[in-house]
Structure 1
Amino acid sequence: MAGAPARYLVFFQYFGTRYSGVMETKSDQALVGVQNYLEKAAEQLKPSAPIKFHISSRTDSGVHALANAAHLDIQRAPGRAPFTGPQLLQGLNHHLKPEPIRILSAQRVSSTFHARFCALSRTYIYRLLLGCAHRSQIPVFEQDLCWAPPGGGLEFWEVKVKSKSFLYRQVRRMVGALVAVGQGRLAPGRLQELLELREPRALPPHATAPPQGLFLHSVEYSHTDLAPPSAPAEEELCGLSRKEFIT
């Protein structure tokens, strides 16, 4: 009889240019999600049950991640010990080659840990390259890793935003609005009016920054939630009892 599955937290990074986003998609699409490749790599570890990655933070097509997070449950055949963190790290990375996706770390966590709901905050960085009159002036290694709106001296700017959660395209809209104001295409007073409307669709389409400059920088958790698995008297999920969480 198989034992209970072991739950792991993994941090991973990727270049988002060639993917439809981080979330899984149907495999017959031209572009699929990072999650498709993560789960395909996990299948090669020969688990006794299918493995599902539960992603902490969604990113769109073209958006990159320096460190996203996910949890997964792995059940091995009877008599096989659970993977250690280093074993899982090495195994997943071996089967992810040659995709630009890498597992940064892997560790055992409690069976009640949830990568999305236990996250304390997410931090994003948006990279702007100012001073390029034409796209051909962008260094070849930076072309898919920044946005180069016209104007200003030749320099990189980074806009860092941290919050517990974000709305759809929120950071890209914030950065795009700042650039539009700086270029004189959006008046500061009009931006204030748009904020008071609280309607994302009211923002002009040109005021949303493109995806290639956006990076998920990090996902933060409390040390308590990252503690090694144990057998608590009452099962809790991120400080809430399971009953409280479900209701």
Structure 2
Amino acid sequence: MARYKLIVEYDGTPYTGWQHQTNGRSVQEAVERAIGRFAGHAVRIHCAGRTDSGVHATHQVVHVDLEKDWRSDTVRDATNAHLKPEPVSILAAEIVPEAFNARISAVKRHYVYRILNRRAPAALEQNRVWHVAWRLDAASMQEAAQHLVGRHDFTTFRAAECQANSPIRTLDRLDVERIGDEIRVYASARSFLHHQVRSIVGTLERAGAGRWSVADVKAALDARDRSRCGPMAPSAGLYLIGVDYPPMDELADQGAHRPRDGGVEAKAEQDDRKG
């Protein structure tokens, strides 16, 4: 039995989200089916962050256990061959220690949200950006964003159906920049609450449009009240772009003192949620 770490890229538009759903196709289902076809047995993969319907990834991380020790490039290439024509690609594969867990071992997750800020709608970037036709002031959005950085009670920016045990999160980075007609919002944290990033972006848009002041954004955070959140940004503009892990040799050393998956995995399913 060998454990593999995979880097996965996907367009989330045609899927119900990362994880298995009863109402449509999921990214997880597509990747598991592709791996199972070449490996010759059913597999279950575990990801670093379960993205919602319509959310994309340029650097999702998963781990999977295979009965045979395959070459890493074979795992990558054979999986990609069986993924066609799905808009999903395995960018890299490597053998990792059994202690590596794509979700539990992660120490930081990185997202970017893309806003197309011009009068004309998107043609080539449909379903990949949020089109906002009115002018946004990225400097005001950046100023407001800094009030959300750090350790806070993010109840205001938490979906009603969020299953995390606590609304307390530490937001390590929240930066806004304009590149031509595009505004990008970068967010980094160990874990996020359900819909936290999209809720924050929707609130920052209010500040950028001049409908809210910077003080209004801080007041919304301090209120700890979901009804004080701005309108939630659509899923199409959100991308998971990176996941950080400690060195593999450190994970191998820790593995002897930590149970494999089981209850620890179940708790992480609640605490390390999508953005």
**What's the TM-score once normalised by structure 1's chain length?**
0.81
- Checking the alignment, whether the CA contact within 8 Å between 2:122 and 2:131 is kept in structure 1 is no
Within-5 A mapping of 1:216-235: 216-224=240-248
1:145 aligns with 2:128: yes
Identical residues among aligned pairs (%): 32
Q: Aligned partner of 1:202: which letter?
A: S
Within-5 A mapping of 1:46-85: 46-48=39-41, 50-76=42-68, 82-85=69-72
- Checking the alignment, whether the CA contact within 8 Å between 2:97 and 2:248 is kept in structure 1 is no
1:241 aligns with 2:266: no
Q: Which residue number in structure 1 is paired with residue 206 of structure 2?
A: 180
- Checking the alignment, whether the CA contact within 8 Å between 2:99 and 2:260 is kept in structure 1 is no
Q: Aligned partner of 1:141: which letter?
A: L
Q: Which residue number in structure 2 is paired with residue 34 of structure 1?
A: 27
Q: Choose the corresponding residue for 1:44, options 32, 37, 49.
A: 37
- Checking the alignment, whether the CA contact within 8 Å between 2:3 and 2:64 is kept in structure 1 is yes
Separation in structure 2 between the aligned mates of residue 225 and residue 193 of structure 1, nearest angstrom: 44
1:20 aligns with 2:3: no
Deviations 1:131-158 (A, max 9, x none): 22xxxx3232111111111212871111
Deviations 1:68-124 (A, max 9, x none): 000010113xxxxx1011010011000000000000100001111100011121110
- Checking the alignment, whether the CA contact within 8 Å between 1:17 and 1:64 is kept in structure 2 is yes
- Checking the alignment, whether the CA contact within 8 Å between 1:47 and 1:75 is kept in structure 2 is no
Rg larger in 1 or in 2?
A: 1
Separation in structure 2 between the aligned mates of residue 96 and residue 41 of structure 1, nearest angstrom: 5
Shift of 1:25: 1.8
Separation in structure 2 between the aligned mates of residue 225 and residue 52 of structure 1, nearest angstrom: 25
- Checking the alignment, whether the CA contact within 8 Å between 2:135 and 2:209 is kept in structure 1 is no
Deviations 1:28-87 (A, max 9, x none): x3x321000011111102435x210001111111110011000010113xxxxx101101
Shift of 1:203: 3.4
SS at match of 2:8: strand
1:194–1:83: structure 2 CA closer, same or farther, 3 Å change rule?
A: same
Report how many residues are paired.
Answer: 220
Q: Aligned partner of 1:152: which letter?
A: R
Q: Choose the corresponding residue for 1:166, options 189, 192, 202.
A: 192
Q: Which residue number in structure 1 is paired with residue 117 of structure 2?
A: 130
Separation in structure 2 between the aligned mates of residue 120 and residue 110 of structure 1, nearest angstrom: 17
1:197 aligns with 2:223: yes
Q: Aligned partner of 2:83: which letter?
A: L
SS at match of 2:248: coil
Q: Aligned partner of 1:242: which letter?
A: R
Q: Which residue number in structure 2 is paired with residue 79 of structure 1?
A: none
Separation in structure 1 between the aligned mates of residue 90 and residue 38 of structure 2, nearest angstrom: 15
Q: Aligned partner of 1:179: which letter?
A: E
Structure 2 stretches lacking a partner, 5+ long: 137-179, 265-275
Within-5 A mapping of 1:205-224: 207-224=231-248
Shift of 1:243: 5.8
